[in-house]
């Protein structure tokens, strides 16, 4: 059982509002088809689709004013649009993808995902289909609504499906000693050992991990604890995701217990 995350940085032009990176998506769809590694579940991020809309309407921190209902729905719509582009291109490449909307089956509790209808997802997998989920605007039992990140979803799916391998595809080679986009001297860390005690992730890895990578690392830690091998790779480099799916050795960061 494989789980592949396609980061928002990979499937969208992050600095261009609601712009799908169709070139990357097409190439990655081909790589997934060529790898021919099933069963697999795909989760993608929001990039320039979900994030700016959710931010504009303050969706992540829940209900303050009923006028947010429009923004709540628009955030979901933005993700549906991106998901549609991705699933269409996967189908075209020969991957039997099936779109599953997280907000239709998931409710968070104070931003955390507790319950998940895993039987439903297993049903699609057993048919030989490839479920494609995404970070979404969801109902929350404490704050009315919230944003469920693709990375949080990955950890939960991994643990509930008993994934063997989880691959995070992003726009950097893996986890560095510092943000590689800001520090040219940052060095790639090939193996990150997760302490068995819940500790500060940054301290555990002796790195300065910030922003999206910090959340990703903390969710990935959950998947490692659940028994999956977790690998972070650069999905912009042609062939890297395909090799990673096949279990070949690639440049990246491996997370271990």
Binding site for ligand ADP (CB under 6 A): 7-10, 45, 47, 170-172, 175-176, 178-181, 207-213
Q: Which is nearer to ligand ADP, 10 or 28 (CB)?
A: 10
- 168: nearest Cα among 250, 79, 97, 82: 250
- Closest distance to ligand ADP from the beta carbon of 174 (Å): 7
Q: How far is the CB of 30 from ligand ADP (least distance, A)?
A: 19
Q: How far is the CB of 182 from ligand ADP (least distance, A)?
A: 7
Minimal CB distance to ligand ADP: which residue?
Answer: 212
Q: How far is the CB of 8 from ligand ADP (least distance, A)?
A: 4
Instruction: Compute the CA torsion angle 7, 256, 226, 8 (nearest 10 deg).
Output: 0
Cβ of residue 128: shortest distance to ligand ADP, in angstroms? 28
- Asked if 103 and 17 touch (Cβ cutoff 8 Å), the reply is no
Dihedral class, residue 254 (left if φ above 0, else alpha if ψ from -120 to 50, else beta): beta
Closer of 55 and 96 to ligand ADP (Cβ): 55
Q: Which residues contact 203 (CB under 8 A, 6 or more apart)?
A: none
Provide the 3-class DSSP secondary structure of residue 156. Answer: helix
Residue 211 in contact with residue 179, Cβ under 8 Å?
yes
Q: Quick check: 12 and 21 in contact, CB under 8 A?
A: yes
Cβ nearer to ligand ADP, comparing 64 with 187: 187
Q: Which CB atom, from 207 or from 221, has the smaller least distance to ligand ADP?
A: 207
What is the spatial distance between Cα 156 and Cα 61, in angstroms, rounded to a whole number? 21
By beta-carbon proximity to ligand ADP, the closer residue of 129 and 220 is 220
């Amino acid at each position: 059982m494989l789980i592949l995350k396609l980061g928002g940085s990979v499937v969208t032009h992050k600095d261009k509002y609601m712009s799908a990176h169709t070139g990357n998506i097409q190439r990655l769809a081909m790589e997934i088809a060529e790898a021919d590694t099933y069963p697999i579940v795909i989760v993608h991020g929001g990039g320039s689709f979900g994030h700016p809309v959710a931010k504009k309407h303050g969706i992540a921190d829940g209900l303050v004013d009923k006028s947010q209902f429009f923004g709540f729905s628009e955030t979901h719509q933005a993700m549906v649009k991106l998901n549609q582009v991705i699933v269409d291109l996967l189908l075209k490449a020969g991957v039997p993808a099936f779109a599953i909307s997280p907000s239709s089956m998931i409710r968070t509790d104070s931003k955390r995902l507790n319950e998940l209808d895993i039987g439903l997802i297993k049903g699609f997998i057993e048919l030989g289909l490839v479920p494609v989920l995404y970070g979404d605007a969801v109902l929350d039992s404490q704050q009315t609504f919230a944003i469920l990140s693709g990375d949080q979803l990955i950890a939960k799916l991994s643990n509930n499906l008993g994934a063997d391998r989880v691959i995070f595809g992003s726009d950097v080679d893996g986890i560095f000693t510092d943000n590689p986009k800001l520090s040219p001297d940052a060095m790639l860390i090939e193996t990150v050992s997760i302490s068995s005690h819940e500790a500060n992730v940054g301290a555990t890895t002796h790195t300065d991990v910030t922003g999206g990578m910090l959340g990703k690392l903390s969710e990935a830690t959950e998947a490692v604890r659940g028994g999956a091998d977790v690998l972070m790779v650069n999905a912009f480099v042609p062939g890297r995701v395909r090799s990673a799916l096949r279990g070949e050795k690639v440049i990246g960061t491996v997370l271990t217990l």
